[in-house]
Amino acid sequence: MKRVFSGVQPTGNLHIGNYLGALRQFIELQDDHECIYCVVDMHSITLPQDPKELRSHILDIAALYMAIGIDPKKSIMFVQSEVSAHAELGWILTCSSYMGELSRMTQFKDKSKGKENGSIPTGIFTYPTLMAADILAYDADIVPVGNDQKQHIELTRDLAIRINNRFNKNTFVVPEGRFMKEGARVMALDDPTSKMSKSAENEFSRISILDSDTKIKKAIMRATTDSDALVKFDIENKPGISNLLSIYSAFSGTPISDLEKQYDGRGYGDFKKDLVEVTINAISPIREKFEEIRNSHELTKVLDDGRERASVIAEKVLARVKNDFGIGR
């Protein structure tokens, strides 16, 4: 069975971009793969977080994993900082990476925008090597993620191949990214030229899985479109309506071309009203399940068990890597 690894940062609650781009794949894969899903809390502290909120979001994300359908009997679920092999392997990979390749990461460029060189946190620079460690620590074959992570997966592959070539051994399994056809990159509702994000200031730029029906309706009805009232997919000239069409298609399973025909001549009002309904129908069952799981004893047990199972795998890989590098005795 092929092994799958992926993670989500607990920097806030999941939005529909995370869900459509990454998490839907997590569920699809768990029946015929060995799946390992992580709450990557060490990534969250690359930028300052309120400690109380962070701890609460870790459990929120874990509960959301289960609420969307991750079955702990089939998949391993755990919290990154509880398995120390991630940090150790992260350092080893940082030592094998180059300043040049890390400087080219677009996410680093975005997150450091507007900051003076001297005050850019080092963590947002080296974050991709920790992400590579997360994946390589499990000998993962497949990494289901959104499109925004493509470059980081490429770096992970480059590092694995570089180290394998250096030692002329299979020190690492070289993983592959897996991306959705619809929803791989959901854009912000207030600015369809940037991706939907948990940490964007405007809460109406995103729809979180735990949002109320009223908030969902408001966010969709005020989403940026254009003035020609034509429901047509055209990323270049009509990025707002194209984004909404992708979301509609991803939730309903209706191809975009069929949606264009369905809403031909009907304007944006009707389209948005139906999109509200489609979105609420898709995410309200997740919200209800989340409420049941969030404070349950079961969640604690699942994460404890996940930590033990993940540690066994990662420690074995780390021992192999340390041996190949010649560190330790």
Which residues are known catalytic residues?
111, 195, 198
Cα→Cα distances 175→39, 42, 153, 172, 280, Å: 19, 21, 8, 9, 35
Residue 22: CB minimum distance to ligand AQP, A: 3
Instruction: Report the 10 Å Cβ neighbour count for 78.
Output: 25
Residue 5: CB minimum distance to ligand AQP, A: 11
**Contact status, residue 43 vs residue 152, Cβ threshold 8 Å:** no
**Closer to ligand AQP by Cβ: residue 163 or 216:** 216
**Closer to ligand AQP by Cβ: residue 111 or 217:** 111
- For the chain, first and last CA: distance in Å? 33
- Alpha-carbon gap, residue 102 to 37, rounded angstroms: 25
**Closer to ligand AQP by Cβ: residue 170 or 199:** 199
**Closer to ligand AQP by Cβ: residue 247 or 310:** 247
Residue 80: CB minimum distance to ligand AQP, A: 11
Rule CB under 6 A: which residues touch ligand AQP?
8-9, 11, 15, 17-18, 21-22, 145-146, 148-149, 184-186, 195-199
**Closer to ligand AQP by Cβ: residue 163 or 187:** 187
Residue 150: CB minimum distance to ligand AQP, A: 9
Work out the burial of residue 83: count CB atoms within 10 Å of its CB; fewer than 13 is exposed, 13-18 middle, 19 or more buried.
buried
Q: Tokens 């930590």 sit at which residue?
A: 307
Residue 312: CB minimum distance to ligand AQP, A: 24
